[in-house]
Amino acid sequence: MHRNMKIIGTGMYTPSRVVKSYELDQKLSLPSGWTFDKSGVETRYYVTDETASYMGAQAAKDAVKKAGISLKDIDCIVSGSGTMEQPIPCNAALIQNQLGLEMSGIPCFDVNTTCLSFVKALDLVSYLIDAGRFQTVLVVTSEISSVGLNYKHKESSILFGDGAAAVVVQRTPENESSKVITSHMETYSAGAFYSEISGGGTKFHPREHNEETEDRFLFSMNGRLIFRLSSKLLPSFMDKLLENTSIGMNDLKAVVPHQASGMAMRILQKKLNIPDHAFINNIKEYGNTIASSIPIALHETIESGKIQRGDRVMLIGTSAGLSIGGMIFEY
């Protein structure tokens, strides 16, 4: 059940443009303070001329530096992102290109399960590392949400930010104990249309974009239905995640949740009885950065010194799909 895998470096990148909640209050003609009260987000970052692959490459360079390795040591690049930079080719190939590794031959592929893409990518990579397929894998998540926000839907548009994060993983050296202890995911597509962007793929090609159809090409969500379905499913999901482990909530040094929204995180923490001292919350600083939110929060938690080698960490969240996913690892 365990997979030998050690996170040897993490990194992150946010675009240079900071967007404060009071700016959105003004933009959306809302009373001052409404955006922050409603979302729990004080600042978020929006790209100006940065591309997702550029951001991902900056985060990757940061992670590689922290890991004390060189880019040439990487033997696989995985993008775990819920957004794509362009329909063809995959994000990971564009990131390889941005890293100047264009003739390296390093295999590149994308994993996508929207906001849980990083967790799923790391989960898959743990099997590849454990089996000896690769020695040093770079997992990169880079998300641009700001191009797809629908400001007619105030409650969703104020939540999101852009950003990237990356981790470098290797097989755990002998005599060390870093490992993935368990992971689990469940998908309930009864909620497939509770949060979606329906236009932009093969169902509604970009040529169908016009004034009447523009909402299809922007993010929409029904927060009430998402909360109702996920609240019902979370407790049994957690039982499954912890099944066959001897781990309880109090054994975790940090629980790093998807930073979905202030309210979603309160519900998650309460439903799962996650103690305050372990619950990692940085939504105020970055907003919901889609799949980047978990690795950004993980990076910050590691950088702060809160997580030490030997500590147990849980990653957990819900995503469009509707999916619930989690992983427990020993750092």
The C-alpha atoms of residue 299 and residue 294 are separated, in whole angstroms, by 9
Choose which of 36, 45, 217, 331 interacts with a second copy (CB under 8 A). 217
Strand partners, 31: none
Q: Quick one: which segment of 23-31, 65-73, 129-137, 293-301 binds a second copy (CB under 8 A)?
A: 129-137
Choose which of 16, 70, 86, 273 interacts with a second copy (CB under 8 A). 86
293 closest CA partner among 317, 271, 263, 327 = 317
Q: Quick one: which segment of 23-31, 32-40, 257-265, 322-330 binds a second copy (CB under 8 A)?
A: 322-330
Nearer to a second copy by Cβ, of 43 and 104: the residue is 104
Nearer to a second copy by Cβ, of 290 and 298: the residue is 290
317 closest CA partner among 331, 297, 302 = 297
Q: How far is the CB of 180 from a second copy (least distance, A)?
A: 11
The C-alpha atoms of residue 215 and residue 167 are separated, in whole angstroms, by 35
**94 contributes a contact to a second copy by CB under 8 A:** yes
Choose which of 26, 37, 155, 190 interacts with a second copy (CB under 8 A). 190
Tokens of 131: 């089996």
What binding mask, one character per residue, do residues 47-76 give for a second copy by CB under 8 A, x or -?
----xx------------------------
Q: Quick one: which segment of 26-34, 63-71, 128-136, 252-260 binds a second copy (CB under 8 A)?
A: 128-136
Q: Quick one: which segment of 142-150, 167-175, 271-279, 298-306 binds a second copy (CB under 8 A)?
A: 142-150
Beta-strand relationship, 43-46 and 17-20? antiparallel
Max Cα distance, the chain (Å):
62
Choose which of 43, 187, 231, 245 interacts with a second copy (CB under 8 A). 187
Choose which of 66, 120, 179, 312 interacts with a second copy (CB under 8 A). 120
180 closest CA partner among 128, 236, 134 = 128
**Residues in region 295-314 near a second copy by CB under 8 A:** none
Tokens of 270: 């309460």
209 closest CA partner among 148, 152, 158, 151 = 148
143 closest CA partner among 81, 235, 216, 73 = 81
Residues whose CB falls within 8 Å of the CB of residue 79, separated by 6 or more in sequence, listed in order: 56, 90, 91, 92, 95, 108, 109, 110, 111, 121, 139, 140, 141, 142
**Residues in region 22-51 near a second copy by CB under 8 A:** 51
Give φ, ψ of 219 to 5 degrees: -70, 135
**243 contributes a contact to a second copy by CB under 8 A:** no
Choose which of 22, 34, 109, 279 interacts with a second copy (CB under 8 A). 109
Q: With contact defined as beta carbons under 8 Å apart, do 136 and 313 qualify?
A: no
Choose which of 214, 270, 273, 277 interacts with a second copy (CB under 8 A). 214
Q: How far is the CB of 38 from a second copy (least distance, A)?
A: 22
Total chain residues near a second copy (CB under 8 A): 73
Choose which of 11, 295, 321, 326 interacts with a second copy (CB under 8 A). 321
